[in-house]
Structure 1
Amino acid sequence: MADSFSFEAIGTNWRVDSRAPLLPRQRTELLQLAEEYDTLYSRFRRDSGVAALAESGGHLPLPRHGAALGSLMRTLHDLTDGGVTPLVGERLAAQGYDADYSFVPTAPPSPARAWDDLLDWTADGVTLAEPALLDVGAAGKGQLVDLMVESLVAAGHQDVIVDASGDMRRIGDGSITVALEHPYDASSAIGTVGLGSGALCASASNRRTWGDGLHHVLDARTGRCVDTVVASWVLAEDAMTADGLCTALFVADPVELAGSFDFDYVLMYSDGRARFSIPLAGALFS
């Protein structure tokens, strides 16, 4: 790639690679997109829209892309029988993954509150019947990747990769080979996949761990950390979908998702087994 731009946003490292030069105004727009998204959805900053909902409930207007995120989250919620839900935020905070990063549990695990009792997510925004802490981490980072790609394409870029620490989307001809990082050894891979124009996202329970068996991937039906799946990778058309499916695969069988989404996947389980879609554009190492 001819040009590269690295920065930190929404608590993780980003890299944009483009065959055409990345102009200063284009770099600035990417940073503005990240700041605007964080200001809306971050549960780790006290000036965000999500923080305001947690304080008093009510209505939070969202930009046009908010409808797509809400629709995906609702679909994943329904397909997983509530295993994936934005209402998992308060359960994550109770297990120590809170705004202060205390990593000290304050309550035993319990199911997230019911979507239909509390949350109304429409094209106009999010409405909560009473205060609740939302978390859109199941698909939010992927959507921000998409928004950045769309911004660059609108600016005339035809060969570009936006990579948010392993959640990536590529626009361009041909394909590239991407290694699948081993969840227990960052210096090795369990295999490789080919990525054309599309997205590859990953989720691993070892990325954010604390305490005894505590990590950031909860089954919202129980409030407990998932201990069967340790890593997931998904290839899909866009990063928001791929990111959301990565989370859903921790709590649902791929067959339960395949009727609603077109995707390829790799799963790694805590007993060392791997499972993948057939045919997969790649290879797993023995």
Structure 2
Amino acid sequence: MSKFLRSAVLVCLLGIVAGCGQNPVDEPLRFQGQAMGTSYSVIVYAPEREKLRLEVGIQRRLADVVSTMSTYEPESDVSRFNRAPTDLWVPVSADVVKVVQASLDLAAQTQGAFEPSILPLVNIWGFGPLARPEEIPTEAELTEALAMVGWEAIDVQVDPPALRKRAPREIDLSAIAKGFGADRVAEYLLELGYNRFLVEIGGDMRTSGIKPDGTGWRVGIETPEPGISRQAYRIVELVEDTAIVTSGDYRNYFEVDGQRYAHTLDPATGFPVTHRLASVSVLAENAMLADGWATALTVMQPDDAFALAETIGLSVYLIERGANGFEERMTGEFKHLLGAGVE
């Protein structure tokens, strides 16, 4: 379930004229770079004189997330917790507590489809910090890894912020941390008074503001086919402050003996998921929740994912592989955003 590559791409930002406070500007500032094991892009309407300050501030927020939550950083809060013995409270940042608590809540709501303690499985399949194996895991390796999976053994303490495990556990927050990183950048921009922007980290998007003509940010949901050039399957236009994240099985995978193994791992079986669900897009109030829900629903069977989204009022767009090509289902706001047909 780890290292999910989120794929809401092909952002079209046309003809936006925005103001911030008393300083209207006609052209956006654009920032791009690498962070959190992927690329990021930020487009914000702010005066040119603010470019250096904003660039430093954006990079600092992303670096903070990496330094506390990355399993690739040996001294991150997450890595220290993973090395710690059981029944010991490990001091961590308030941000880590927030993300872990959200992860545990998602795990409870999805009956473990979202699983923060998935790192042992991620490692044996080669989707984490360790080198990718040349063969699929053995039954013994899967049994050993599965014995260390189970969110119920993780406790959270808010004040002072700390984590504890009551059994051997290793957490991996990469299925939700990129969304949290997008939220942190968005919060930073809003704190400075800039409210027309798009933040994108590895496809996880957070938007604010609309165009002067009343139209919003146009975002493409990628065609979920491996090995083809990226192209938009559907286009959504976001006219309210929101977040959108897409998860799929078509970008991050490897093959052994002609069999394709995607990065989306089922915590119940220890194997990559193999059902017909190709892509899940989620709209939510923030990118952290959209990120986590996209991951969880991708793990679930398509009918179960759709039923749960309808029950809890979550806006989702599912692309499934059918006998005659892709089939789509949607709930909530996606019914208003998409309508019938394919772009």
Q: Normalization by structure 1: what TM-score?
A: 0.90
- Cα distance in 2 for partners of 1:106, 1:53 equals 25
Matched, 1:128 2:165: yes
TM-fit CA distance, 1:122: 3.1
CA contact (8 A) 1:43 1:133 kept: no
The residue aligned with 1:82 is: 112
Larger radius of gyration: 2
The residue aligned with 1:280 is: 336
- Cα distance in 1 for partners of 2:73, 2:101 equals 25
CA contact (8 A) 1:198 1:237 kept: yes
The residue aligned with 1:245 is: 293
TM-fit CA distance, 1:71: 2.9
Deviations 1:83-112 (A, max 9, x none): 211111111111122313424444444546
The residue aligned with 2:186 is: 149
State the one-letter code of the partner of 2:243: A
The residue aligned with 2:42 is: 16
Deviations 1:129-166 (A, max 9, x none): 35432111221110110011000110121211101132
CA 1:79–1:188: 2 relative to 1, 3 Å? same
TM-fit CA distance, 1:236: 1.4
Matched, 1:36 2:64: yes
The residue aligned with 1:210 is: 254
State the one-letter code of the partner of 1:45: E
- Cα distance in 2 for partners of 1:35, 1:64 equals 15
Alignment match of 1:115 (pick from 151, 158, 166): 151
TM-fit CA distance, 1:265: 1.4
CA contact (8 A) 2:309 2:316 kept: no
CA 1:64–1:45: 2 relative to 1, 3 Å? closer
CA 1:247–1:281: 2 relative to 1, 3 Å? same
State the one-letter code of the partner of 2:28: A
TM-fit CA distance, 1:273: 2.3
Classify the secondary structure of the residue corresponding to 1:138: helix
Classify the secondary structure of the residue corresponding to 1:14: strand
CA contact (8 A) 1:44 1:100 kept: no
Unaligned runs of 5+ in 1: none
TM-fit CA distance, 1:191: 1.1
CA 1:121–1:107: 2 relative to 1, 3 Å? farther
Alignment match of 1:161 (pick from 198, 202, 210): 198
Length, aligned pairs only: 284
TM-fit CA distance, 1:48: 2.1
TM-fit CA distance, 1:6: 0.4
Alignment match of 2:132 (pick from 98, 102, 112): 102
Classify the secondary structure of the residue corresponding to 2:74: coil
TM-fit CA distance, 1:245: 1.1
The residue aligned with 2:20 is: none
- Cα distance in 1 for partners of 2:229, 2:287 equals 22
Alignment match of 1:232 (pick from 280, 293, 296): 280
State the one-letter code of the partner of 2:237: G
Deviations 1:165-224 (A, max 9, x none): 321111113412211111213432221112121111111112211133322211111111
**Which has the higher mean CA deviation after the structures are superposed, 31-40 or 53-62?**
53-62
CA contact (8 A) 1:213 1:225 kept: no
Classify the secondary structure of the residue corresponding to 1:126: strand
The residue aligned with 1:189 is: 232
Classify the secondary structure of the residue corresponding to 1:265: strand
